[in-house]
Structure 1
Amino acid sequence: MEVRRLGPEDTEAFVKVRLEGLQTDPDAFGATWEEEIRRPMAEWQERLSQGPEGDSGYFGAFVAGELVGIIGFFRQRGLKARHKASVVSMYVREAHRGTGVATVLMQEELAYLRQRGDIDQVQLSVVTTNHSAVRFYEKMGFLPYGLEKRALKSGERYLDEMHMYLLLHD
C-alpha cells in the first residue's frame, strides 16, 4: 500500500472514490451525491491543489495503483483558530475495509499535521449512528467534546453528530 498527498493529477480517481462514498454511505457525509456530481472538474482539481501554504488537502491510499481510500483536512483560517485543523471526507472502499487502510490514512494525515509544528489540535465530526467510525476515531485517540442534535437532515430524517478532538502536542 502506498499513501501520499493527492494532487490535481489524481482528480479523476479522487472524484470516483468520493462519489462512491457518497452513494455507499450517504449518512456519513455532510454533502450529497446529487450536489457533488454537478461540481465542475476544475473545482475538484482546485481542491487537490493543496494551496500555497498546504493548509488543506487530501491523502490517498493506493493498492496496486488503485485509489482505495481518501482522507482530507483543512486548517482553520482565523488568527485565533489557526492552531486547529479538521479531518474531513474519510472514506475507504468496501473491499478494503478492515485491512488497515483507514489507520494508515489517519496516521499519515496526523503525522503531516504534527510535523507542521503550527497545528496543535485536530477536530472531526462523526454521525452518531456510524458506530464503527466512532470506535475507529476513539482507537486513534480522538475524544468527544460535544454532541450536536439534528446536525444533518436527510429527507425527513435528522442525524446527530459527535464532535471529537485530538491534541497533537502536550
Structure 2
Amino acid sequence: MKIIALSKENVNEYREIRLEALRNNPEAFSSSYEEEKEMPDDAFANRLGNEASITLAAKDESGLLGVVTLVREQKKKIAHRANIFAMYVTPEARGKGVGKALMKEIIERARKYEGIEQIYLSVMSENEPAKKLYASCGFQVYGNDRRALKIDGCYYDEDMMNLYLV
C-alpha cells in the first residue's frame, strides 16, 4: 500500500470511492449519495485540483483503499486552521492500518503548510472506531453537535475534534 495525492487525472477512481462512501455510510457525511451521484465529473475533478485542499488516497494493486481531504481555511482571520473532510476506508481495508496511515500522512502534510496551527474534524458520536483512530493521532473532542444530521427522520450527533500542531 502507498499513500498518494490525488489529482484531476484520478477523477474516475475518486468519484467511485466517494460514491461508495456515501452509499455505505450515509451518516458519516453531510453530503448524500443522491446529491452527488448526479454531479458531473468536473465537480469531482475540481475537488482534486485546487490550492486550498489536498486529497490523499491509500492505494494498492486492487485500487483505492481509502481517502481523506484536508482543506485550508482561506479567510485571513482563520488562515491558521485546516479541516479534515471525507475520511473513508473501504470495508475490506478496515482494521488493517489504512486509516491510520492516511491520518498520519495528512497531518504531516498539514504541518508543512506555512501557517497551519490547528486541524479540525467532526465524527459521528457513535463511531467509536473512528474516534479512537483520531484520538490516537492526537485529536481531542472539544464539543458535541446534537442532531447534526437528519437522515430519513433519524438524527445523528457529531463530536467535534481538533489537533493543535503548535
Question: TM over 0.5: same fold?
Answer: yes
Deviations 1:81-134 (A, max 9, x none): 010000000001111111111111111111111011310000000010111111
- Quote the RMSD (CA, aligned, Å): 1.0
Distance in 2 between residues matched to 1:38 and 1:142, nearest whole Å:
34
Residue 108 (structure 1) aligns with: 105
Distance in 1 between residues matched to 2:103 and 2:79, nearest whole Å:
20
Distance in 2 between residues matched to 1:4 and 1:120, nearest whole Å:
23
Distance in 2 between residues matched to 1:19 and 1:165, nearest whole Å:
26
Residue 14 (structure 2) aligns with: 14
**Offset, 1:65:** 5.4
Unmatched runs of 5 consecutive residues or more in structure 1: none
- Select the residue among 76, 80, 85 that pairs with 2:82: 85
Distance in 1 between residues matched to 2:120 and 2:15, nearest whole Å:
24
Size of the alignment, in residue pairs? 166
**Offset, 1:57:** 2.0
Distance in 1 between residues matched to 2:64 and 2:104, nearest whole Å:
17
Unmatched runs of 5 consecutive residues or more in structure 2: none
Give aligned-pair identity as a percent.
34
Residue 139 (structure 1) aligns with: 136
SS of the aligned residue for 1:15 comes to: helix
Deviations 1:132-160 (A, max 9, x none): 11111111110011111111111111111
2:152 corresponds to 1:155:
yes
Distance in 2 between residues matched to 1:65 and 1:59, nearest whole Å:
17
**Offset, 1:22:** 0.8
2:43 corresponds to 1:43:
yes
SS of the aligned residue for 2:77 comes to: coil
SS of the aligned residue for 1:80 comes to: helix
**Offset, 1:71:** 0.2
Distance in 2 between residues matched to 1:135 and 1:45, nearest whole Å:
31
Residue 119 (structure 1) aligns with: 116
Residue identity matched to 1:166: L
SS of the aligned residue for 2:157 comes to: strand
Residue identity matched to 1:11: V
